[in-house]
Amino acid sequence: MFYIVSSAVIVFMIYIITQIIIPNTNKNYEFAKEIVGLYKTLPSNYFHEQSNEFMDQVNEICENYDVDDEGIAKNKSRRKSPNCKQLKRTFIIYCFIVTCLLLIPFMTVFIYKPECENLMNFLTNQAKRAYYISTVSQYSMELLVKDRYYYKEGHEIAKFAEHYNILLKLENNIKSGKYGGKSSSDYSIFDRVNGNSPGCVRSRYQDIEMICSQREFNELYTEELSNTSTSYMMVEFLNKAKELLDNPPECRHDLTDQKELYKVVMEIENSSYFKFFTGLGFDIIGHVNYISEEGTIYLLNQIKKYRTITLLGHISCAIIAYILFYIFINRPIKKQLRSMDSMTNITFSIPTSIYNSSPKVKKYIIVLIYYLL
CB atoms within 10 A of CB 372: 9
pLDDT for the residue 76: 45
Residue of 28, 12, 23 lying closest to 341 (CA atoms): 28
Reported as a single tens digit per residue, the pLDDT across 303-356 is: 899 888 888 988 888 888 888 888 877 776 676 666 666 666 666 666 666 556
Average pLDDT, the chain: 78
Whether the per-residue pLDDT at 373 is higher than 70: the answer is no
* Low-confidence winner among 58-72, 188-202, 274-288 (lowest mean pLDDT): 58-72
In contact, 173 and 182? CB cutoff 8 Å: no
Residue of 10, 19, 246 lying closest to 143 (CA atoms): 246
d(CA 358, CA 247): 116
Reported as a single tens digit per residue, the pLDDT across 256-298 is: 677 777 777 777 777 788 889 889 999 999 999 999 999 999 9
Whether the per-residue pLDDT at 48 is higher than 90: the answer is no
Find which of 73-77, 147-151, 335-339 is predicted with most confidence, using mean pLDDT: 147-151
Hey, CA dihedral for 258, 263, 266, 271, is it positive or negative? negative
In contact, 271 and 170? CB cutoff 8 Å: no
Average pLDDT over residues 348-367: 60
Whether the per-residue pLDDT at 46 is higher than 80: the answer is no
Residue of 39, 36, 40, 28 lying closest to 86 (CA atoms): 28
Hey, CA dihedral for 213, 205, 233, 129, is it positive or negative? positive
In contact, 119 and 295? CB cutoff 8 Å: yes
d(CA 1, CA 126): 29
* Low-confidence winner among 147-156, 162-171, 282-291 (lowest mean pLDDT): 147-156
Cα→Cα distances 42→28, 166, 339, 340, Å:
22, 94, 19, 18
d(CA 327, CA 266): 87
Long-range own/partner contacts, residues 168-177 (CB < 8 A, 24 or more apart): 168/238, 170/125, 170/128, 170/129, 170/132, 171/129, 171/234, 171/238, 173/125, 174/122, 174/125, 174/126, 174/129, 175/231
Average pLDDT over residues 155-175: 91
